[in-house]
């Protein structure tokens, strides 16, 4: 199985973000933005997510099979709705 096709080229992603930022600065009223997020399973229920330059970790409590190493996905969802 070729896993290389599923890899994210961070350099290319940064170039795309920079280009998007430049287009927005030139014409803020007519510009559109596209965001990309990715997540990977690290261990059991421990997930690592990325969006832009930020990395997030989430996990489930022990009662749900996790190690409680971070907020649960539902907790992330709720705080996102609160913002």
Successive 10-residue mean pLDDT values, the chain, 83 residues: 57 82 85 83 93 92 94 92 89
| Shared-domain flag, residues 49 and 67 | yes
* Three-state DSSP class for residue 79: helix
Q: Where do runs of H (alpha helix) occur along the chain?
A: 10-26, 73-82
Positive/negative CA dihedral, 7, 55, 72, 34: negative
Quick one: pLDDT at residue 65?
Answer: 93
| Shared-domain flag, residues 77 and 57 | yes
| Shared-domain flag, residues 2 and 17 | yes
| Shared-domain flag, residues 40 and 22 | no
C-beta pairs of 21-25 under 8 Å, 24+ apart in sequence: none
Quick one: pLDDT at residue 1?
Answer: 45
| Shared-domain flag, residues 28 and 39 | no
| Shared-domain flag, residues 54 and 64 | yes
Quick one: pLDDT at residue 72?
Answer: 94
Domain, as residue range, for 19? 1-34
Strand partners, 56: 49
Strand partners, 37: 51
Per the listing, tokens 């998007």 go with 20
């Amino acid at each position: 199985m070729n896993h290389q096709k599923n890899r994210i080229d961070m350099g290319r992603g940064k170039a795309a973000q920079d280009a998007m930022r430049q287009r927005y600065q030139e014409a803020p009223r007519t510009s559109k933005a596209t965001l990309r997020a990715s997540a990977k399973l690290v261990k059991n229920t421990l997930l690592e997510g990325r969006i832009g330059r930020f990395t997030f970790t989430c996990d489930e409590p022990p009662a749900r099979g996790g190690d409680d190493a971070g907020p649960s996905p539902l907790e992330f969802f709720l705080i996102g709705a609160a913002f």
